[in-house]
Amino acid sequence: MKRTTFWLTAAVAVLLVAGCGQGKAPQAQPPAEQTETPGTSGQPAAEPEKTKQTITVYYSDDNLMEMIKEQQEIAYADDLDKYKQAITLLEKPKEKEHFPLWKDFHYHSVTFDKGTLTIDTDSKNVYNLGSSGEGMAIDALRETLFQFKEIEKIVILVDGKPTDSLMGHVSIDEPLTR
């Protein structure tokens, strides 16, 4: 009998000890109050004022027979942002019947220095437009970007290096000029 009582007491003690660690998980500490940086009011930083402008963007008809103009609005914080948005719009016509000549166009960077806009394109871009389509794509890029008076030249690089042509038909080894 003493043995049974001993083992029963030992089993209850083991269960009690094991159960002690099964309480609630510790509560997460509330985040420490953030202190304000001198000169801030605790309000989120306001986005810089954006300038809105309506620009003309160029596309093609679905047969690559003629260029089509489309008016689109951009909102930009600085000139470089303005150029990037114009390039992006070359991929996105509003009208379904307008064909984007720069569809799925990817670039590494766009820079502007002393009147020259340099677009460093990605070599993984796939262009299947033929010679007339390539000429029209270059014209669409030229016409869209040269409406910004400060751009005097456009240089197109591929993976940071000069190239003779994007699709093998139209020479771009020299900068595009007005």
Looking at residue 75, the DSSP 8-state letter turns out to be: E
Of 42, 60, 175, 35, the C-alpha closest to 118 is 175
Which position has the higher pLDDT, 13 or 131?
Answer: 131
Give me 137's structure tokens.
């794509």
pLDDT in tens, 94-144: 998 999 999 888 999 999 999 999 999 998 877 778 888 889 999 999 999
Asked if residues 172 and 156 have their Cβ atoms less than 8 Å apart, the reply is yes
Provide the pLDDT for residue 125.
Answer: 78
157's CB contacts (< 8 A; 6+ apart) are 118, 119, 120, 121, 163
- What's the whole-number mean pLDDT along residues 71-77? 96
Of 120, 90, 86, the C-alpha closest to 104 is 90
Provide the pLDDT for residue 162.
Answer: 95
Of 67, 121, 143, the C-alpha closest to 99 is 67
Give how far the C-alpha of residue 165 lies from the chain's centroid of Cα atoms, to the nearest Å.
25
Q: What are the structural domain ranges in the chain? A: 51-177
Provide the pLDDT for residue 25.
Answer: 47
Q: Using 50, 70 and 90 to split pLDDT, how confident is the model at 39?
A: very low
Provide the pLDDT for residue 127.
Answer: 73
Provide the pLDDT for residue 62.
Answer: 85
pTM comes to: 0.70
Asked if residues 112 and 145 have their Cβ atoms less than 8 Å apart, the reply is no
Of 112, 93, 123, the C-alpha closest to 155 is 112
Residue 50 has pLDDT above 70, yes or no: yes
